[in-house]
Chains A and B, each alone.
Chain A
Amino acid sequence: MTVHQISVFIENRSGTLVKVLDLFKEAGIQLIASTISDTVEYGIFRIICSEPMKARKVLEEAGVSSNVSDVFAVSLDNYPGRAADAVRFLSKAGIGISYMYSFMLSGKGILIFRTNDPERTKEVIRDNGIESLNDESLLSLV
């Protein structure tokens, strides 16, 4: 139901993003999706990639501040309105979404998100028959 996401704490300075991406390149790790939060105070680079645990190790060895965490990944059918339906289930259950990003992969709409109540979120996903992904099933779509 969840996938591993790498979060990198990046300095708001030119060159820091390239440094992270070069490390992935050298290690042969493929980016599946990524997003950078744009706040004044902190830069957080969140990445879904082909080999999250290896990525974490590579970053750590290079002295880059990073973190690996579980985030929800659901796969939706490719027609308009499916994201609204999925988020409505969570909203009705009173679950708050901390952040979310989405992308298309092999004809599927993928939503990646973190909530303030992981246990309840799992129930909602199960009870409403939403198709969820783990590292392997996500990678199989690539």
Chain B
Amino acid sequence: MASSFLHPRYESLSRSEIEALQSERLRETLGQCMKSPFYRNRFRNAGISPQDIRTPDDLVKIPFTTKQDLRDNYPFGLCTVGLDKVVRLHSSSGTTGTPTVILHTQRDLDQWADAVARCLYMVGLRPGDIFQNTSGYGMFTGGLGFQYGAERLGLLTVPAAAGNTKRQIKFIMDFGTTAIHAIPSYAGRLYEVMEEMGIDPRRDTRLKTLVIGAEPHSEEQRRRIESMLGVKAYNSFGMSEMCGPGVAFECTEQNGMHIWEDYYIVEIVDPVTLEPVPEGEVGELVLTTINREAMPLLRYRTRDLTRILPGECPCGRHHRRLDRMKGRSDDMMILKGVNIFPIQIETVLMQFPELGNEYLITLTNKDANDTMTVEVELKEFHDDYPGMQSLTREITRQLKDEILITPEVRLVPKGTIPKTDGKAVRVKDLRKTLI
């Protein structure tokens, strides 16, 4: 199996070697962190010094870092190098208030590209392969992250970016694309449109590999995508705070995502007590970067719920495997790969004096397309049909501006939004495995 290791030096480390490397890199990272005003204050306030932390087991002494910390110190408060050493900035969409910013030195970008290249190599991609990336580019890390990683590996990389499905298919046909990165629902969409165009992906394309992620999906969904497109589909995990794609990736066993423990120290904690959960149990993923220069993060709460898969992977790597993400410890929804919080929708709705306080967000995925329906109670009913129509249009427009997705807005009579225990249910996720 060694032939599938792009970085045998790191990929073939034993557990004890991984832990030794982590201790060494953690100590370097702590030294680096002390160059940022944020972590200097944090350590001082907690009454700890970097010397107190020698191994990953000592991490529990350090307070968690949260997304709110990144917002409060926007944009450069966590930076540990001079800005003249920073060559790239990525930002979250800022959908819930102040955006968050992640900074990279050239070394950070190189390390990131190496991680993505390692992932793609692991699933069998080699120079000669043609890799089409359907991620949004720009500030979103799924675009440039895969671009640089695939180029690092030597793949012919097509930055097709998001949308324009017919053009994507034309590229697949014309260039002989062998591998695609797409969110699962978009992979389903590609198949649908190919079918409409009379294209059988198994017969008419060279596709063999699909990289999926950024959107919850089940094993059944994966299998259906694989059989429709005639590919092997590999799940991936990444988040902009941890660089972006390339944090954890499935090997050809397709059973859990190896998290690169030469880059990250993994903890799984109970999201309420914040205590570590027993090995193999589901909790919130907490990550410490140990291979980053410009903006290392210690014990970052990802809000993603998952578990460490017990046992050894037959592929021979000892980097532990994360199970599929089980959901979120906050109320974030992921729709068409876009992160959305109910509070964003609430904020828009509450600006309309015509509307009551109750609303219900329903997520469905008819025809493999994620759809959001927002039902909201009308405060007073005036039997003014044209007025209701234009109100509906205006709410839809403003919601689209906020969440970047066009929801179906429906005004409903007062008192009709279902409640449980007097508390309104805000989100109903009825998305099923349809693909």
Contacts and interface: CB of A to CB of B under 8 A. Distances in A.
B415 A65 contact: yes
A106 interface: no
Interface stretch (A6-14, A79-87, A128-136): A6-14
Contacts, number: 43
Given A42-B388, A63-B415, A65-B415, A7 B381 contact: yes
A44 B383 contact: yes
Given A42-B385, A98-B385, A65 B378 contact: yes
Contacts of B380: 65, 67
Name the interface size band of chain B.
10 to 19
B314 interface: no
B414 A63 contact: yes
Interface stretch (B20-28, B272-280, B300-308, B405-413): B405-413
B95 interface: no
B408 to A, nearest CB: 9
B415 A67 contact: no
A67 B381 CA distance: 6
B124 to A, nearest CB: 48
B416 interface: yes
B385 A65 contact: no
Interface residues of A, number: 18
Interface string B102-117: 0000000000000000
Interface in A78-122: 98-99
B399 to A, nearest CB: 16
B382 interface: yes
B392 interface: yes
B392 A41 contact: yes
A67 B413 contact: no
B277 to A, nearest CB: 42
B358 to A, nearest CB: 12
A46 B415 contact: no
Contacts of B410: 41
Interface in B217-260: none
A64 interface: yes
B378 A7 contact: no
B411 A66 contact: no
Interface in B381-435: 381-383, 385-386, 388-389, 392, 410-416
Given A10-B413, A11-B413, A37 B385 contact: yes
B428 to A, nearest CB: 15
B383 A69 contact: yes
A44 B415 contact: no
**Chain A CB within 10 A, most for which of B378, B383, B392:** B383
B416 A11 contact: yes
A37 B383 CA distance: 11
Interface in A44-92: 44, 46, 63-67, 69
B413 A64 contact: yes
Nearest to A116: B386
Nearest to A13: B416
Contacts of A64: 413, 415
A46 B392 CA distance: 21
Contact of A9 (B378, B389, B392): B378
**Chain B CB within 10 A, most for which of A10, A11, A41, A98:** A41
B385 A66 contact: no
A67 B383 contact: yes
A7 B383 contact: yes
A41 B411 CA distance: 8
Interface in A3-45: 7, 9-11, 37, 39, 41-42, 44
**Chain A CB within 10 A, most for which of B381, B386, B414:** B381
Contacts of A39: 385
A63 B381 CA distance: 12
Contact of B413 (A41, A65, A98): A65
Contacts of B412: 11
A67 B385 contact: no
A134 B381 CA distance: 24
Given A9-B413, A11-B416, A44 B378 contact: no
Contacts of A69: 382-383
Nearest to B379: A65
Nearest to A62: B415
Contacts of A65: 378, 380-381, 413-415
**Chain A CB within 10 A, most for which of B414, B415, B416:** B416
Contacts of B378: 9, 65
B416 to A, nearest CB: 5
Contacts of A7: 381, 383
- The list of the 4 closest CB pairs from A to B, nearest first, reads A7-B383, A65-B413, A9-B381, A65-B381
Interface of B: 378, 380-383, 385-386, 388-389, 392, 410-416
Given A10-B413, A65-B378, A99-B385, 4 more contacts: A9-B383, A11-B412, A11-B413, A69-B382
16 contacts: A9-B378, A10-B413, A37-B385, A39-B385, A41-B388, A41-B389, A42-B385, A63-B414, A65-B378, A65-B380, A65-B381, A65-B413, A66-B381, A67-B382, A69-B382, A69-B383
